Chains A and B, each alone.
Chain A
Amino acid sequence: DPHLNFMRETMGIMQHHDAVTGTEKQKVALDYAKRMSVALRACSTNIRSVLNQLSISSDRVSPQPTKFEFKTCTLLNISSCATSELNDRFALTLYNPLAHSTNEYVRVPVTDYKYVVIDPTGKSLPTQVVPVPKAVTNLQHRNSSAQYELIFLASNLPAVGYKTYYIEKSDSIPVRGKPSASPKKK
């Protein structure tokens, strides 16, 4: 509750007419940004706890199920995310807040161009990799090694529900058959 209350209080502050329209003083704008950041970080604890409860399958045999981190990446707007950049394997959980199922093209900042994406049924999805625009990689204060964005279609995300995708650098996957052709250079 203290975590949620901090977010509630912050959202209350954000209803002030200066916050809505951007007519606050610069130092106040920075304080608003800080409060939002702290509130989001506090609530990520709740999110982690809830998703870890939801993601335990009912037929699980292990008495001590593994807990996942479920980190938010607040710098995705500049194509930067520590988890996807620093790990060869990671999972991406998408929670759909809408009251109807949706399809969404997901873009994940990555450091390489060879990845596989596996959906919750075990199916390998078609992917595409495009370079992060030069104007973004050249941003002065962007501290990121992501040179590419991995794109895949997350289809039929359930209404107010979630799906988790497994993403892995394809170099680290044991060869099961004929390797796929490397992307054509344009």
Chain B
Amino acid sequence: SSYTVIGNNNIKLTFDTNGFLAYVTADGMTRTISQEFLYYIAATGNNEEFLNRSSGAYIFRPDKNQIRFATDEVSLEVYKGQLVQEVHQQFNSWISQVVRVYKQSNHAEFEWLVGPIPIKDNIGKEVISRFTSDIKSEGIFYTDSNGREMLKRRRNHRETWNVKIHESVAGNYYPVTTKIALEDDTARMAILTDRAQGGSSLEDGVLELMVHRRLLHDDAFGVGEALNETEYGEGLIARGKHHLFMGKSLQRPEVSLKAIERLVQLETLLPSWKFFSNVSYSSDQWL
């Protein structure tokens, strides 16, 4: 019946009464930022014709750019403690997520769990996580180049030739190895990934990342089979993390959001290695 807030002194996330993220407060400002899961309907083509391929392992190609919402209401469970505050979201029977903010961090972590993607309706699906903000990015966004420099991308545009994009979704997708970001004069939003994914900004202020896909047709580029992993029965389940950063876009000598992003990027992709040992000692003996 009321908004749910989690966070710390650096960042606060507000969830609306339907269970969706609604606002993010960080770096002295509150911005409208929502997050939801959607899926594209995969194109089923005739592979004999070059310009009419199916969506497959090599190419992402939604059918007439059709997109569906995973749900319009999310169930929430909230856990608040001294080290972490987290919200467990259930979007539908095959999409769930934990959104958390640790006590000392300045970003939010979105741990998504997607699958097995249902295919009883004989429709291939390509699932995305979409962050929608009020940032006026004017068609510009940035994706990383294999974790190193950030490359400027402009919607429906190529740097070295005049292009007419015939498929506005697929034609604007770019590889994201670690980071995708956008900004305007006042605010900046960046998302770090834990693995390589496809991503885009199809509207101003909006970032999306593809998290999982299950397809029923081969795209005739060589693999010779559909991307439909059924070896374990129902289909694969994927679990991963996105890290959301929001703050002022101005570069300031004392605080640089980009510098913080870079540090978290390293720590996300190269976390500590964990080794477990059985111990028979008491704590004093062990010390």
A36 CB–B CB distance under 8 Å: no
Query: How many B residues touch the partner, as a band?
Result: 35 or more
Tell me which residues across on chain A come within 8 A of B234, comparing CB atoms: 140
Q: How many residues of A contact B (CB 8 A)?
A: 65
Tell me which residues across on chain A come within 8 A of B283, comparing CB atoms: 116, 118, 122, 166, 168, 173
In the complex, the answer to whether A92 meets B274 with C-beta atoms within 8 Å is: yes
In the complex, the answer to whether B104 meets A25 with C-beta atoms within 8 Å is: no
In the complex, the answer to whether B267 meets A24 with C-beta atoms within 8 Å is: no
Interface string of A26-54 (1 = CB under 8 A from B): 10011000000000000000010001000
A10 CB–B CB distance under 8 Å: no
Tell me which residues across on chain B come within 8 A of A126, comparing CB atoms: 82-83
Tell me which residues across on chain B come within 8 A of A135, comparing CB atoms: 90, 96, 113
Provide the bound-state CA to CA distance between A151 and B100, in Å: 12
- Interface residues in B105-121 by Cβ distance below 8 A to A read 105, 113
In the complex, the answer to whether A118 meets B113 with C-beta atoms within 8 Å is: no
- Interface residues in A140-166 by Cβ distance below 8 A to B read 140-141, 151-154, 157, 166
- Interface residues in B11-52 by Cβ distance below 8 A to A read none
In the complex, the answer to whether B277 meets A68 with C-beta atoms within 8 Å is: yes
B163 CB–A CB distance under 8 Å: no
Provide the bound-state CA to CA distance between A72 and B275, in Å: 5
In the complex, the answer to whether B78 meets A91 with C-beta atoms within 8 Å is: no
A5 CB–B CB distance under 8 Å: no
A93 to chain B, nearest CB (A): 4
Interface string of B267-282 (1 = CB under 8 A from A): 1001111111111110
Query: Contacts A23-B223, A25-B224: A151 and B267 contacting too (C-beta < 8 A)?
Result: no
Known interface pairs A71-B277, A93-B277, A94-B274; 6 further A-B residue pairs with C-beta atoms within 8 A, sorted by A's residue number = A25-B223, A81-B276, A90-B279, A102-B272, A105-B102, A128-B84
Chain B residues with a Cβ under 8 A of chain A:
57-58, 78-84, 86, 88, 90, 96, 98, 102-105, 113, 221-225, 229, 231-234, 237, 239, 266-267, 270-281, 283, 286-287
Q: Which 7 A-B pairs have the closest CB atoms?
A: A83-B276, A135-B96, A128-B81, A94-B272, A68-B277, A70-B275, A128-B83
